Amino acid sequence: MPPAATSVTISSEDPLELTATKTSFYVIQKLVKLWTDAEENPDQLASSKGLSPYLIQNKSGQSVVVTPGKTFTDHWSEEGFGLTDGLSQSLDYKQDTRSRIEVLSKTFDADSIDIYREKAHQVCIQFPGFEKISGVPITKAGRLIYFLKEKASANKIVPFVCEIELIEAQKIVRLRSSFTIENNLSTDVDVYAKGETTPVAKLKPSEKYYAPLLRASTSSFSISPSGFGFQPSDEFNWKSGRTSGGVRHRSITCLSEAAGQYVTRLVAEPETYENVADVGKDEPHHIMHLYVPFVLHNQLPRSLRGQIEGYEKEFQLDAGAKESLSAIDADSEKKKESRGFTAFFWTKDESGREWSGHVGIDSSKNDELVGLEMSAQFPDGKSVKMMFGVRLTCMKSVEAHVFVPYWMVNKTGTALEYLADGSSHSILHESTVKDAILFGMPKLGSKGKIKLKAFGSEWSKSFPLDAAGSGGNIKCKENNRVYELGLQVRLASFGLSRIVTFAAYQIVVNKTNETVFIYEGKSIVPMIIEPGAWEPYWAEGKSGVMSVKLGSDAEPESQKFSFDKAHSTLLELGGKVRGVYVQVELSDSSSIISFSHYFVGAAPVRVENHIRKEKVVVDVFQKGEEESGNAAVIVDSGYFRTFAWSNPLGKRLINWNFPQLGSVKYQNNLKQDNHGKCEFPKQGSLVIYWASFLDGLQRVVLFTDNKAEVLHATETEHIEQADFELTVSIPSVGISLVNDHKSLTVAYVSITSSGLVWEFKPMKKKRFRPESYEMCQKLEAVYNDSSKAKEKGLLVDFSNPNDMKIVQPKAGSLRRTLHKGIWFQFSVSTHHIFMHAIVNRIQIDNQMRLNVFPVVLNPVPPPKSVASQAAPKPFIEASVVINRMEQANTQQIKYLMVLIQEVAVHVDMGFIGSLIELFSPENWDESGEAARFQKDLAVIHKTVMESSAVKAVYDGQRVYISFLHLSPIKIRVSFSIDAPGAKDNEGKSSLVAVPVEFVKVLLKSVGIVLTDVQDIEFRLAYFELVGQSWTERQLLRGIQKHYVTQAIKQMYALVLGLDVIGNPFGLVTDIKDGVFDLFYEPYQGAIQGPGEFAVGMAYGVKSLVSHTVGGLFGTVSRVTGTLGKGLTKLTFDDELQKEKAQAKKPTGIGEGLKQGAQSLAHGILGGITGIVTKPVKGAKKSGVKGFFTGVGKGLLGVLTRPVGGVVDFTTSTFQGISSAADLEKPVYPRRPPRFISHDKIIHPYCFHTATGNAILQVVEEGEYGSDQYFAHTVIFNDPKIVFLVTNKHLLFIKEGDFIESGEQKAAFVTPLSEILEIREKDNAIFVVLKAIKKSFFGKSEGHEQKGFKAPKETDRKYALEKVHEALKLFQH
């Protein structure tokens, strides 16, 4: 092909590293919203112009003096400006004609520019009577806390907060106390200080009150709703309430003789600060939120009436509504003693029948699912019970979400009857009821299965309702007739109910402007469908075939065609010059049969006869139909004719012959573009050329005696010059996902290049192609050691690296290269679009400090049977060729192929929760709850015509697909219920636990109890279309349904993969694969030669042994591993459970035995020593309560830990045997997690600091993980021997011995506060402590000191320098 007219190449030799934070996602969303708002309201942009970059607000309750930094205007004296409480002052930058970089570069060296910039954007703050706070940075949004020291009394310390908030184009710098009251109620609130009768503040909804600086720690406050005559509430302060879920909460009450009581729920949320890790328990650092005490959500598709025990007033909620009940004290002591209060509910069904029930509401429960048994009296006198549900949350208000498990929607046009398994009473669903009816199982959380009746039929077989996103067809028998219904299950927006929709499985759509008459099988009574209408179709028999008439019943009848198989064709109507196009589209829950008028391309083929010399006639007929008497289509020379199948039920192949030249038959399937020739030697060497190609949506078969015509019709794409070509080539891409709000690195996504690949180009060819794995290994061995050439059977010439040659075993050129991580090429010409994309290797690592699986996603290498003889393949490769046809205004997907290699996915609940939190908005938009519920109701009222399957038939431009193939997808999945990531980098409980618990509640609502699964396989079959015409919407929907349906249906694998029973599914798969290797590889070896056959046979036997041995021992190890986990949980030892969760799988027999012995020793020694160590640790952590908790753990450990050690010994040993038999290599994370310093600024990734911080997190079982990493260096060039400095300690680390599980241990640890000096002497470093060393007799022998050898001078200098820096920064 000629080069493109315009070519653009984007290439890099360096990796591309990106960091995406939670803040960046928020900023992008905010920018999109601002751009959208600006387009809708351009005048809004002018409002932010002219604003100062900074606005200082004094909300402290005291006057304050602020001294700006050097970059700000100097309109004030050197001491700065004063601000009384409640006032603000704007800050502007100095005007300078020079650029900022120029100013900085002339003042400082390059390394000091950042330091100067930081100091120049600081302010100094001084409150009367207190020492000045210098160097307060105001460039970054966030909260900073400082502690004011009183001049008169150094012992008095008052905390104050500098809060920087970015609002539009201005940073608001707010000076306030560390205690805030925020009004989250829907009414105005008056705030009273202790002892005062007039309010100190009036808060509108969402407004905040900042307690005065000097009274925040000691004062109490009370509140009352404004303007309703309520007395002030009980007093509260920042310490009020009981702790639950990391926050404190309590309820306070305001009384009124006229209005009764008004209850407010206080929730004290601790603030976090950018500059301090832990404020301390004795200082306020809280926002006291004011919430309504109880909120009821009606998540039924019907209105709900209710009443709370002890309160006379009833309330009524419409569908999807919520009610805030301010008279209910959910946290009162009486309610706590009785474990909550009782709520009574009533709702009416579609027939006006009232259902009633009651449920207990316990305010101490969070994310709990409670059953609500509702009952109703039926006409037959029976009382029928149905289980609804209530989801309880108490993080803010106590909230109860009332729901029913299933919304049943009937779109069949006939009455349905439902019977739940385990129930004795059915529920009738009339066809006239357009709303959803309420349906539940006898028990909440049971796996829902029901039976169905339609048209008075027998009960169907039981079928499940819980797999949201799935569908299927349900068959109900009546005598000799079978009614088929389509079923679709959709998850409601709030996640607890499933919308179950029933419709006729077959839908007939008339897209013509004439009446369609349908005859099924031998029926003489037609079904009539008016123009533009649709109707449900209930098949009368099992024939699966029908015919049609168009216009009137007197018109000719079409051929019979199948309606239970996916296809499309043009039907002839009694030989008239018109036809009707029928298309049958099948899915798991629907079959759409549509009829359309003839359009260009509707006929299977257009036959053109361009044979000019002999005026030869062409006869075209359907294969197998000429014997049936169906006439052939005769095409005279110089004419063309369209061709339709004479028997749509027969084989769809065309035959042709030339009656004048003999009776030889030729055949074509019309699926793809191709060409050929027919030779007739007896007719004077006559050659007739033929070509099959596409013209718009019309398939054309051309016959000609002119060869040039065929070449012109079939080879245009190979000779057309591209107008534009784009090539992108990047060696590797890394994306780090960071939750900067939690200082937590969640994941690292890496796309990397292939390994070294040898490519070969035969003589006289222009393209290099990669060699097989086996040949690459041989060539690489010879490249590194030329003496191995004879041994490998190669004759090569590597003397010129730019022109390497090979002579044996084949002749040609060689190239040693790496395939880039991402390669993409796009070109477009007048008639064609070409795209080719390659992603070589992708890996996703779990970067959280605590995890079960370090690697979340990685490609699985192919088995040796394939890899040895196949060339290396990228993880994803896609190739697309699209033909654009201007005259027909249509497109042809000439070739589209996507190949995806096998992938392994390993996730734990902590990782899932962290991802949810990373991408979730900081403040959930509760106002959208009603809108989302209305969308659920809209789904109920959609007609069948509005369903995606039917709309796909109407919408979109048609595309002809010559060849489309999406590869099968094979995924190995392992999952752990453990959520170690629910703690942040400082070991504190994280809100990650919130989405994790919600996921568990969702699954519990359908009776699924989460448990571990290991190595289950999802096998999704390939998707392929050849020679078909679809709308764009049909194509996208077909691909989506194909893979999603398979994935959901393969969830059954989770049952066989449950951790509680080992993994018998994996065992069967392993043995099956072994037999497959034995069958397949000898065949592959035989192709390459007798010698290779023997190698293939030997490997086949080895593979069978490895899979069988690995499978058996792997299952044994998983069964014992499950038992070991159970014993570990019985110890109630969080540290031991964390250790087990993070235990790595041994990679061989030796390592398995070693880990097993270590586990056995740990179990025995830990059980014995735990009697002493557990109470001591508990006492240090939680005082007396912790001591007795430790005693209990120690006594349990004596019984469970030795037994667990024996079980773990068995597990590790069998895992080692399984791994030794396994042919795959272990996969490790690409890099250690990013180190995020205490300032929470996300700096560019540094491998050295990341490694040091990773060591700090694991040394001494994470005992010093809460320290702030400062510096480290490796001693003796041994990565196991490390000198490390933190903000609190100096550590000299070495790897532990056998009993210590190989974990890194500290040879000595010294607090920085105890160090007197550090010095070097005789190739060693000595740490001199403040403590005095005394002899046995009490005589002073000087200061204690610790030392270690450090032969390298650079190591000693680095260590001394960093310790001195740390002492200077942190010791005081």
CA 1192 to chain centre: 40
| Apex 231 CA angle, 227 and 234, nearest 5 | 130
| Distance between first and last Cα of the chain | 74
Residue 856 clears pLDDT 90, i.e. is over it:
yes
CA atoms within 13 A on the CB side of 714: 18
- Is 476 in a helix, a strand, or coil? strand
Give the burial string for 104-115 (b: 16+ CB within 10 Å, else e).
Answer: beeeeeeeebee
Q: Residue 120: pLDDT band by 50, 70, 90 thresholds? A: low
pLDDT at 163: 94
Interhelix angle 1149-1221/1090-1130, rounded to 10 degrees, is 120
- Pairing state of beta strands 822-828 and 832-839? antiparallel
In whole angstroms, give the CA distance from residue 1117 to residue 1109. 12
User: Mean per-residue pLDDT for 1172-1201?
Assistant: 62
Burial of 886 (0-12, 13-18, 19+ CB in 10 A): exposed
pLDDT at 1216: 60
Tokens representing residue 1172 in the block:
């002493």
Query: Taking the C-alpha atoms of 1122, 1127, 1132 and 1136 in order, what is their torsion angle to the nearest 10 degrees?
Result: -70
**Under the phi-then-psi rule, with left for phi > 0, alpha for psi from -120 to 50, and beta for the rest, what region is 1036?**
alpha
- Which residues make Cβ contacts (< 8 Å) with residue 1325, sequence separation at least 6? 1283, 1318, 1319, 1347, 1348, 1350, 1356, 1359, 1360
Residue 164 clears pLDDT 50, i.e. is over it:
yes
pLDDT at 318: 93
Residue type, 75: H
Tokens representing residue 864 in the block:
């040796």
pTM of the model: 0.75
Tokens representing residue 1052 in the block:
């059954």
Q: Residue 1087: pLDDT band by 50, 70, 90 thresholds? A: very low
Tokens representing residue 392 in the block:
């309880």
Q: Residue 1083: pLDDT band by 50, 70, 90 thresholds? A: very low
Prior bond to 809 cis, omega within 30?
yes
pLDDT tens-digit profile of 678-692?
888 777 778 889 888
pLDDT at 135: 87
CA atoms within 13 A on the CB side of 398: 27
| CB-CB contact of 995 with 916 (8 Å) | yes
Beta bridge partners of residue 190, listed in sequence order? 202, 224
pLDDT tens-digit profile of 547-602?
999 988 878 888 899 998 888 889 988 755 578 999 888 877 888 899 998 887 78
Give the burial string for 354-389 (b: 16+ CB within 10 Å, else e).
Answer: ebebebbbbbbbbbebbebbbebeeeeeeebebbbb
Q: Residue 1224: pLDDT band by 50, 70, 90 thresholds? A: low
| CB-CB contact of 188 with 202 (8 Å) | yes
Q: What is the full DSSP assignment across 1124-1138?
A: HHHHHHHTT-HHHHH
pLDDT at 1119: 46
Write down the residue that tokens 């409640």 correspond to. 86
In whole angstroms, give the CA distance from residue 372 to residue 388. 5
Worst-scoring range by mean pLDDT, 76-85, 181-190, 648-657, 1020-1029?
Answer: 1020-1029
Phi, psi of 71 (to 5 degrees): -85, -10
pLDDT at 703: 92
pLDDT tens-digit profile of 330-383?
776 555 545 568 889 999 988 888 999 999 888 777 778 888 999 999 888 888
pLDDT at 46: 55
User: Mean per-residue pLDDT for 964-981?
Assistant: 79
User: Mean per-residue pLDDT for 843-871?
Assistant: 83
pLDDT at 1048: 65
Q: Counting runs of H as helices and runs of E as strands, what totals does the chain give?
A: 21, 82
| Apex 849 CA angle, 843 and 854, nearest 5 | 30
Instruction: Pick the most confident of 115-119, 451-455, 1002-1006.
Output: 451-455
Worst-scoring range by mean pLDDT, 82-91, 422-431, 656-665?
Answer: 656-665
In whole angstroms, give the CA distance from residue 299 to residue 394. 18
| CB-CB contact of 632 with 645 (8 Å) | no
In whole angstroms, give the CA distance from residue 967 to residue 961. 16
Worst-scoring range by mean pLDDT, 368-377, 450-459, 1299-1308?
Answer: 1299-1308
- Which residues make Cβ contacts (< 8 Å) with residue 435, sequence separation at least 6? 301, 302, 350, 940, 941
- Pairing state of beta strands 591-597 and 579-586? antiparallel
Nearest to 980 by CA among 1193, 1143, 838: 1143
In whole angstroms, give the CA distance from residue 568 to residue 435. 36
pLDDT tens-digit profile of 202-214?
999 999 999 999 8
User: Mean per-residue pLDDT for 1232-1255?
Assistant: 88
Query: Taking the C-alpha atoms of 726, 731, 732 and 733 in order, what is their torsion angle to the nearest 10 degrees?
Result: -30
The continuous run of DSSP H or E covering 122 comes out as: strand 122-126
Residue 179 clears pLDDT 70, i.e. is over it:
yes
- Is 359 in a helix, a strand, or coil? strand
Say how many C-beta atoms besides its own lie within 10 A of residue 79's C-beta: 11
Nearest to 600 by CA among 640, 547, 654, 639: 640
pLDDT at 1098: 38
pLDDT at 510: 92
Burial of 326 (0-12, 13-18, 19+ CB in 10 A): buried
Radius of gyration of the chain (CA): 39
Tokens representing residue 600 in the block:
């260009």
Say how many C-beta atoms besides its own lie within 10 A of residue 725's C-beta: 19
pLDDT tens-digit profile of 755-798?
888 999 998 888 888 888 888 889 999 999 988 988 888 999 99
Residue type, 1273: T
Measured CA distances, 1286 to 21, 1136, 1238, 1362, 1365 (Å):
26, 26, 12, 10, 11
The strand ranges marked E within 1207-1296 are: 1269-1275, 1278-1286, 1289-1295
Residue 1124 clears pLDDT 80, i.e. is over it:
no
User: 1277 or 701: whose pLDDT is higher?
Assistant: 701
Tokens representing residue 503 in the block:
């419709």
- As a whole number, the mean pLDDT across the chain is 78
In whole angstroms, give the CA distance from residue 559 to residue 573. 8
In whole angstroms, give the CA distance from residue 1254 to residue 1273. 13
Tokens representing residue 233 in the block:
């509430």
Q: Residue 1300: pLDDT band by 50, 70, 90 thresholds? A: very low
- Which residues make Cβ contacts (< 8 Å) with residue 618, sequence separation at least 6? 607, 609, 611, 634, 635, 656, 657, 658, 703
pLDDT at 1197: 61
In whole angstroms, give the CA distance from residue 1156 to residue 1216. 9
pLDDT tens-digit profile of 487-513?
888 888 888 888 999 999 899 999 999
Q: Residue 1157: pLDDT band by 50, 70, 90 thresholds? A: low
Phi, psi of 759 (to 5 degrees): -115, 150
Nearest to 976 by CA among 1016, 1029, 1004: 1016
- Pairing state of beta strands 958-966 and 890-900? parallel
User: Mean per-residue pLDDT for 598-625?
Assistant: 85
Tokens representing residue 460 in the block:
């169907």
The continuous run of DSSP H or E covering 974 comes out as: strand 969-976
Burial of 781 (0-12, 13-18, 19+ CB in 10 A): middle
pLDDT tens-digit profile of 1035-1069?
887 887 777 767 766 664 554 433 332 333 333 34
Write down the residue that tokens 């074509």 correspond to. 668
Write down the residue that tokens 């013209």 correspond to. 695
